[in-house]
Structure 1
Amino acid sequence: MAAGAVIVLGSVLAALAVGSGAFGAHGLEARFSERAMAIWQTAVQYQFVHALGLLLVAALWERLQPGWGLASVIAMALGVLLFSGSLYALALGAPRVLGAIAPIGGTLFIVGWATLAVAAAVGRA
């Protein structure tokens, strides 16, 4: 995976986060409870932060150990999918049992940042 692909991934996730936030604020606010809106906004916030995290990984790509850098990208991307995705679904009325997926995504976020630290500490061989 090249830095360019990570830039594309981070940029697309950031654009989707902005769109999801706007959709929530303007298209769903009248239909959602306060709790559902809070869940939706949490999903947007974490998606956006980790989209920026992916862009950070891309910016540092040439300084990172490739295997650990790729692990960081995969963990952050899967974290967005599982954490934010499950929260979006919950806000839209999915069964509450789906909420059990969010902590897995949150753990992947932590793994993503930790592997970024390792990738930077080890650096290019």
Structure 2
Amino acid sequence: MGALGVAIGAFGAHKLHDMLEKAGRLDTFETAVRYQFYHVLALFALGTLWAFRPELRSLSTPAWLWVGGILLFSGSLYVLCFTGITKMGIVAPIGGLLLLAGWLSLAWAVRSL
């Protein structure tokens, strides 16, 4: 997901910048990339923690919530930016809720550390 974020971000910044700006969607695109990277870094930290504490099986819940959140939140914004299908904007809040649920489930999982 990190490599994909770099590729999408670079493609948007170098090849689609003018199109995104003209369509008024540059901010939306940047938000999608930024939130993808925030959660890729969080997934990396979670994976590192899990490597040292494999007994913490409950860490898989926030990981899967973040993966789903990235796909729905950032993914729907990418589709909106690249295709102009505005109905995809309806999906973004669901992805946002998954990202939020991931953070809350992480807090729940590490409460006893």
Percent identical: 39
Deviations 1:23-49 (A, max 9, x none): 111010122226211111111000000
Alignment match of 1:65 (pick from 56, 75, 79)? 56
Residues 54-77 of structure 1 deviation map (CA, whole Å, 9 limit, x = unaligned): 0111121117731x2111011000
Question: Please, which runs of 5 or more residues in structure 1 have no aligned partner?
Answer: 1-12
| Residue 22 (str. 1) matches residue 31 (str. 2) | no
Greater relative CO, 1 or 2 (CA 8 Å, sep 6+)? 1
Question: What is the TM-score of this pair, normalised by structure 2?
Answer: 0.89
* Cα distance between partner residues in 1 of 2:55 and 2:36: 23
Structure 1 residue 52, shift from structure 2 partner: 0.4
- Following superposition, the deviation at residue 108 of structure 1 comes to 0.5
What CA RMSD, in Å, does the superposition of the two structures yield over aligned residues?
A: 1.6
Moved over 6 A (4+): none
1:30 is paired with a residue whose SS is helix
Q: Which amino acid counterpart does residue 43 of structure 1 have in structure 2?
A: A
Measure, in 2, the Cα distance between the counterparts of 1:15 and 1:93: 22
Asked if residue 81 in structure 1 is aligned to residue 71 in structure 2, the reply is yes
Query: How do residues 33-112 of structure 1 correspond to structure 2 at under 5 angstroms?
Result: 33=22, 35-61=24-50, 62=53, 65-66=56-57, 68-112=58-102
- Secondary structure of the residue aligned to 2:25 is helix
Unaligned runs of 5+ in 2: none
Q: What is the alpha-carbon distance in structure 2 between the residues aligned to residue 35 and residue 43 of structure 1? A: 14
Aligned length: 110
Distance 1:31 1:52 in 2: 29
TM-score of the aligned structures, taking structure 1 as reference length: 0.81
